[in-house]
Amino acid sequence: MSSPADQLTPSPSRPGFGVTARYWLLILPALALMIVCYIYPISKVLWLSVTEPRPGLDNYAMLATSASIQRMLATTARISVISTLITLVLAYIVSYALVHTSERVRRWMFLGVLVPLWISVLVRAFAWFVLLRREGLINNILISSGLVDAPLSLIWNETGVLIGMVHYMLPFGILPIYANMRDIDQRCVAAARGLGASRAVAFRQVFLPLSMPGVVGASILVFIFSLGFFVTPAILGGGKTLMIAEYIKVQILEIVRWGVGSMLAGTLLIIIGGLLVALARVVDLRKLFGSI
């Protein structure tokens, strides 16, 4: 019969199969899935970018020599920056209203924020196509109200692409900003008001700085999503507003230049990775993306 001291003493692990090994066995299926579904395809894309049509860095040299690629990258950067800025402004206003409204109104506002997330981006793009076309609802309202004499050109240009992208990105901007604003101690604003600050000064010097982590987090999500947009620019841009995702599709499926397409995909991957590394020095990305 074993003594109480023997019962409290942990049994020695079998050689070669300790706690660490058991943890690795548990995550092995997920690791294998990650390698097969993500790491191998990404490695293949990067390999093609330096081997097609011949080994070397000729494809990456086109970033500096091809006027069409430079023009497309400039269009992608411009639309992504503008859509991110517009989304952040609108998301901040909506988030501020969510934090300061009653519980009943907040529930209805959240429903309006979340419902678009449940609708396909393709359906939303076609809905905007119907609304923004020359004979659409928006042009009919503007003409009937006397604000314009002729239909405005709202699709097949950057205006239509920006409207569709901002509408899609708005929930991704609202949720991080609202989560940050919700945790702000409202007594700080009340203390500023109690010390004589006006409502505008208390907002600018107290509430706005405290809400900046949420704004930075939302800007990361929205800008990265904007860089890879495909469906909305393809439908509302009509092929006239070419962004990098659609350009890659044309290079691979229509012109069959795998080297150029994979080079652009690799460039997009490197840019996004660089942005995340740079922003990791400013904000805690693990906390931002939900890690404990």
| Spatial separation of the C-alpha atoms in residues 89 and 104, rounded to whole Å | 24
Alpha helices in 35-116 (DSSP H): 40-49, 58-65, 67-100, 103-114
Q: What is the pLDDT of residue 231?
A: 86
For residue 210, give the amino acid letter. L
DSSP label at 196?
A: T
pLDDT grade for 292, boundaries at 50, 70 and 90: very low
| DSSP helix/strand/coil, 43 | helix
Q: Which residues contact 239 (CB under 8 A, 6 or more apart)?
A: 156, 246
The rounded percent of the chain whose pLDDT value lies above 90 is: 38
pLDDT tens-digit map of 90-112:
999 999 999 999 999 999 998 99
| Spatial separation of the C-alpha atoms in residues 39 and 43, rounded to whole Å | 6
Structural contact between residues 220 and 239, judged by C-beta atoms closer than 8 angstroms:
no
Determine whether 223 is exposed, middle or buried from the number of CB atoms within 10 Å of its CB (0-12, 13-18, 19+).
buried
pLDDT tens-digit map of 14-72:
555 677 787 788 888 888 999 999 899 999 989 999 998 888 888 999 999 999 999 99
CA angle 239, 243, 248 (to 5 degrees): 90
Q: What is the pLDDT of residue 166?
A: 94
